[in-house]
Structure 1
Amino acid sequence: MPSDLGHALLGLLARRPSTGYDLARRMQRPVGWFWTAGHSQVYPELARLEADGLVEHEVVPGRGPRATKRYRPTAVGTEALRTWVAAELEPQPVRDLEVLRLWSVWLVDAEAATDLVRRVRAGHAERLAAYEADLATLDGVAAAHDPAAPDFASRLTLVGGVLTRRAALEWCDWMLAELTAADRP
């Protein structure tokens, strides 16, 4: 059974065969919007997936002195990914550093609290702009409306990101209003 990272890599490879280097880059964006892994984690995971018969590679010309491996999922790997996608979800632990800091914001003065909320808001605004830009690349793409196409799944996750970030901005604006109201006599 692949790890969560293994499933992420299988999902990327199901979209298109890739080298380890390409996978590491694609783990930054678009997958990095919702799941992260370092470059150093990709290659060992690919080796595990290959040892388990879930991916295979072909040697292709590369830029460096060593041959380059381009990976693709095997039929078993694709089936393992399908099974995982449809399986029951287990509750996920929540680890949100922004919310953890905001939970203790009462300990700092109003200026520091306002500064924190503004920084949090700026981060959400930046992410929203990136999601909207990525989503715009799918405008007019027929496959983005075909439930059997990778672009459809990309559109679903990007719309989810847009809606989530808009809600986060609304929350930040509310917090700023609360902080401003608290400063008034």
Structure 2
Amino acid sequence: MQTENLSIIHNYDGCSFERHYIDPNIPDGFVLTKEQRYRLQCYYTESGFLADVFDVARFWKLQKFLQPNRCLEAWLRRELQALMQEEDVDIVLHHLVGVMESFCKRIKQRRKQETRSAETTNQEQFKAVVSEAARPFVMARTDRFVDELELFLAAGLNLEAYDAIYKQGLEGNNRREIGAASEEREEVEEHNVRTRVTPYLFIFEEDSD
């Protein structure tokens, strides 16, 4: 399915880019949807709490990253729109997809020549090349973006199922954090009570003549 490009990204030097809108009447602004706002908020939460749920380690061990993911472009579009605050992200999206496809082709070509030792190296190299490609566009959120991409690929789910599990996991993680903070506060208060110094009353008597 082809989409109409409403802007052109140019002067990309590996670190920054410029955007030119084809139609000058298009405002330089974009209103996020409810789902995009939620996803943007996820980038400000603690990372890593879903790695075991989606079994990221198994994803790399079985080299499932080499399998195509038909929901990848839809996920990338939503994430990039949320992070870049732009509606037209197709050029960046296809740039990232191209980088990932090239990486997978290289791995497939040398698979027969390598031993079993490569899952950790593959993971590191994949995240490194995607980080380099994404950093000029998502900037400070690059590392978290790559972590979120890894989670989505490892999950192997469509967006609706992925979002449902993600929200459930995030809510559970928030409850655990609140519970841990409450327990820590109670321990501090109990410690303060135990160590509180009771003031002594000193009575000074004057010597009588």
Query: TM-score normalised to the size of structure 1?
Result: 0.33
Query: TM-score normalised to the size of structure 2?
Result: 0.30
With a CA cutoff of 8 Å and minimum separation of 6, indicate the structure with the bigger relative contact order: 2
Higher gyration radius (CA): 2
